[in-house]
Amino acid sequence: MTKKATDIVAYITIIGWLVAYFAGTRDESKFHLNQGLILGILSLAVSIIATVLGFIPLVGFIIGLVAWLIDLGLLALMIIGIINACNEKETPLPLIGFIKLI
């Protein structure tokens, strides 16, 4: 897998990130792999929290709306990351670009 393909696939769900990590150019794509991993972890955490708290009658509705808004924001960040990967830029994503896991 080329560097550009690895960078793009790293943003597409956790499964896409795993494919990019194991089949792609890991050393050249660390920046986008890191950004994609952060997005995946945040998305998973929001889903788990919304599911667990969703069983509380009134609070669950409010948490569901907040989780939906956060998911929209994460989708926007994913699109920004894919656009940066397509243009071969290593620009940090807003709000989460400072986090380094890899």
- The Cα 40–Cα 48 span in angstroms is 12
Contacts of 94 (CB under 8 A, 6+ apart): 77, 80
**Model-level pTM?**
0.86
10 Å Cβ neighbour count for 44? 12
Instruction: State residue 64's pLDDT score.
Output: 87
pLDDT band, very low/low/confident/very high, at 13 (cuts 50, 70, 90):
confident
36, 101 contact by CB (below 8 A): no
Residue 35 confidence (pLDDT) above 90: yes
User: At 96, phi and psi to the nearest 5?
Assistant: -120, 0
Q: Which range scores top for mean pLDDT: 12-26, 50-64, 70-84? A: 70-84
